[in-house]
Structure 1
């Protein structure tokens, strides 16, 4: 999937310039002000935001602060563009949670490298979480708001892990979010669907139980909510690149 970038600037020339620079690598959404940007955020999956600071209405600093304090969007990296060449301006950008701060006029190469680095780092974190049996879900948090969201989500799945029927509706009700918003949030943070995240949480718990060496694999599959041991084994192999038996045999035993 091509990653999507939301560009916010009241200057049409800047919007057009950035569109030319980035259109071959990303799916672009353009907004002339903060209000239009918010409507796009409500409808689209956005992977990164580039925003000018000086805009009428909601300026870039205020918009960044709103984004970083809202559980629905706070995971999205924000690059702020400004013509203000002062340390205080830079500090203000960091204080509202900006992930990068670039002064105008800027090098297009610098901007492209900043974008690529932010997106690549997030991609690596997701891949590491999905392939590591003992990695905590909160490794994917990019803010305190994200951390609280993931902790609450993980606790609910863990507390109900024996139930084979946990689904997105149950998660959405617990998190007080719509299905669409919850799906979009989980998908961005983990690159997983809610169902895949539930499965992975089950399998990480199974890996912990296997390491304890107290239960049979059949017992463990039931304890983590699988009605079929063959499905349990298939999913375990899919994520961790080895079967439950191979994993058990790879662990040091006293």
Structure 2
């Protein structure tokens, strides 16, 4: 599926122009002001917003501020388009959390490159987190709101990591969130389902314990909630491309250098 992008501008001609530029690479949704855009964000899993600044009802600055301060949407990159070319306007947009600020008139190539770069960088961060045994979940945060959410999520999983039945229902209940909201937030930030993220969190905690060298593999397997050592070993190798034993040996060799 193509990434879903929301375009926001009160001028229909500009919306149509932006759609023509982008619709070969992205799925496009359109809104004519900030309030309409927020309603779309509530209903759709938007991956990036391109918004004008000067609009009725709710302008681009207020839209950006609301997106970046709302847990459900704070992970969504925002590109602001504006005819205001003053330093003050740029600073205001960036202070509100905008990921990029593009002056009008702009080149098609510049906009395409900016969108591609933001989405690509997010994907690289997600992939690096997933394949790196000791990289913390907070590396995927792009806002303070995201960092707070990921920290709470990590701590909740760690407190219940020895429970082999920990799933999205239990996790949502402990975090006092709806299952759907939790699923959408985790998926948007990590591109993983909650079950996949719980499993990776188990394996990352196992990597920490194995690196410490104080526990045997079967003990670590039990401590992080796996039903059997063989199941744990298979999952570990699939995720990190090495067996638990190979990982322990590599860590020991690094410490001896």
Would you say 1:232 and 2:232 are equivalent positions?
A: yes
Partners in 1 of 2:20 and 2:120 — Cα distance?
22
Q: Secondary structure at the match of 1:197?
A: helix
What's the counterpart of residue 121 of structure 1?
A: 121
Post-superposition offset of 1:82 = 0.6
**Partner residue, 1:88:** 88
Rounded to whole Å, the distance in 2 between the matches of 1:63 and 1:55 is 10
Displacement after TM superposition at 1:203 (Å): 0.3
Displacement of 1:167: 0.9
Give the whole-Å Cα distance in 2 for the aligned partners of 1:47 and 1:122.
Answer: 10
Shift of 1:68: 0.6
Counterpart of 2:5 in structure 1 is 5
CA distance in structure 1 between the partners assigned to 2:122 and 2:200 by the alignment: 18
For 1:88 and 1:209, locate their aligned partners in 2 and report how far apart those are by CA, in whole Å. Answer: 49
Q: Gaps (5+ residues) in structure 1?
A: none
CA deviation profile, 1:13-64 (whole Å, cap 9, x unmatched): 1111111111111111111122221121111111110001111101110010
Offset of residue 242 of structure 1? 1.0
**Aligned match of 2:181:** 181
Equivalence for 2:74? 74
Aligned-residue RMSD, C-alpha: 1.2
Does the aligned pair in 1 maintain the 2:169–2:179 contact within 8 Å? yes
Q: Distance in 1 between matches of 2:174 and 2:45?
A: 22
Tell me the CA shift for residue 132 of structure 1: 0.6
Q: Contact between 2:167 and 2:195, CA under 8 Å: does it hold in 1?
A: yes
Match of 2:161 in 1: 161
Number of corresponding residues: 254
Q: Which runs of 4+ in 1 moved over 3 A?
A: none
Cα distance in 1, alignment partners of residues 76 and 229 from structure 2: 38
Per-residue CA shift, 1:195-242, capped at 9, x if unaligned? 011001100111111112222211111110001222211211121011
Which whole-Å CA distance do the structure 1 matches of 2:108 and 2:177 have between them? 38
The residue correspondences of 1:20-35 to structure 2 (distance < 5 A) are: 20-35=20-35
Any idea what SS the aligned residue of 2:62 has? helix
Equivalent-residue separation in structure 2 for 1:42 and 1:247 (angstroms): 43
TM-score, normalised to structure 2's length? 0.96
Q: Distance in 1 between matches of 2:158 and 2:123?
A: 25
Aligned partners of 2:34 and 2:62 also within 8 Å = no
